[in-house]
Amino acid sequence: MNTVETIPELRQAIKQLERPLGLVPTMGYLHEGHLSLVRLAREQSASVVTSIFVNPTQFGPNEDLDAYPRDIPKDLALLEAEGVDLVWMPSPEIMYPEGFQSWVDVAEVTQVLEGAQRPGHFRGVTTIVAKLFNAVQPDKAFFGQKDAQQVAVIEQMVRDLDFPLEIVVGPIQREPDGLALSSRNVYLDIEQRKAATVLNRALKAAKASYEAGERSGDVIRQTMTKTIQAEPLAKMQYVSCAHPRSLQELKEIVEDGTLLSMAVFVGKTRLIDNLVLGPNH
C-alpha cells in the first residue's frame, strides 16, 4: 500500500493504478462502517484509493475540530489489511492554500435537516469532495447511507456539475442491538449506550406503521417523536419524513424511497440515524 501527501505525488501514483478506480473519502478514525465501504469499493473497482483528511471547513464554530479523534497508524493498518492500493493524506495547507477563495455551494437540499442545524457544514463538505474528485478522478466514489443528507447533497452536486463518476452508497452498519455505527458512540456511558437504541427503535416503529398501511407524513413523524420522548435519556432535535431527493417534508409518503431521519441527543452526544421506506428498500 502506497501513501502520498501532495497532489503531484497523488497524480503520479494514480497513473500506475488499474482502472476502474474507486475512491473512499474519509476523515480517518476508521470503524467497521468505513471498512464496509472499502470492501464495497474493492468488489466494484480494480484499484482503491482512500483519502484521510479532517476537513476544517465542514466544522462549525461550536464544533471542536481539534477534539476530532485521530489515529493514523491504526487507520493505515486497517486499510492495508483491506487491500487498499493508495492512501492520500493531504495537509490542510495543501487543500486550502493561502488565498483559497472558491467554494461549491449546493443551494436547496443543504438548507434542511442537518444543514439547518449545522449552517455552512455542507458548503465545506461539497467543496472538499469536489476537490477530492478533481484530484483523484475516480470512476466511482463510495459514501455511507448513515449520512443520508450528505449523499443527497453530493449526488445533487455530481448531477449539477457533471462530475464524470458514479456515486455508490453503502448500507448503514449496525451493532447487534440496532445502534448505527459511529465514531461518536464511544462517548456514551453504559446507560446512555442502552438509551441510544431509541433511534433505531423509533425508525422501526415508523416502518411498522407504514407496513400496516399508514401513509400520512404527520402520523409517521408523530410515531417517531413519541418513541423518542418515551426514552428519558434522549432529547430529540428533529425527526423527518422527507422526499429522498429534495428532502422536503412529505404530507403523504412517496411509495418508493421516503427517507425517515432524525437527530437525537443522548447526554451530550448527538446521534443521527435514518431508514428508507419502500418495497425496494
- For 252, other C-beta atoms within 10 Å of its C-beta total 11
**Using the 8-state DSSP alphabet, how is residue 174 labeled?**
B
User: For residue 97, what are the β-bridge partners?
Assistant: none
The binder of ligand PAF chosen from 21, 128, 152, 202 (CB under 6 A): 128
274 binds ligand PAF (CB under 6 A): no
Distance CA 126, CA 153 (A): 8
Distance CA 258, CA 250 (A): 8
114 binds ligand PAF (CB under 6 A): no
x/- map, 155-194, ligand PAF, by CB under 6 A: ----------------------------------------
Q: Which is nearer to ligand PAF, 123 or 221 (CB)?
A: 123
Least distance from ligand PAF to the Cβ atom of residue 26, Å: 5
Stretch of residues binding ligand PAF (CB under 6 A), selected from 98-106, 122-130, 236-244, 245-253: 122-130
Cα atoms in the 13 Å half-sphere on the side-chain side of 258: 25
x/- map, 15-54, ligand PAF, by CB under 6 A: ----------xxx---------------------------
Active site residues: 34
Least distance from ligand PAF to the Cβ atom of residue 106, Å: 14
Indicate the residue type of 39: R
Distance CA 136, CA 142 (A): 13
Asked whether 224 and 262 are in contact (CB, 8 A), the reply is yes
Pairing of β 47-52 and β 86-88: parallel
55 binds ligand PAF (CB under 6 A): yes
The binder of ligand PAF chosen from 104, 113, 125, 180 (CB under 6 A): 125
147 binds ligand PAF (CB under 6 A): yes
Least distance from ligand PAF to the Cβ atom of residue 57, Å: 9
Pairing of β 140-144 and β 258-266: unpaired
Q: All 3 cell numbers of residue 266?
A: 443522548
Which residues make up the interface to ligand PAF (CB under 6 A)? 25-27, 55, 58, 125, 128-129, 147, 150
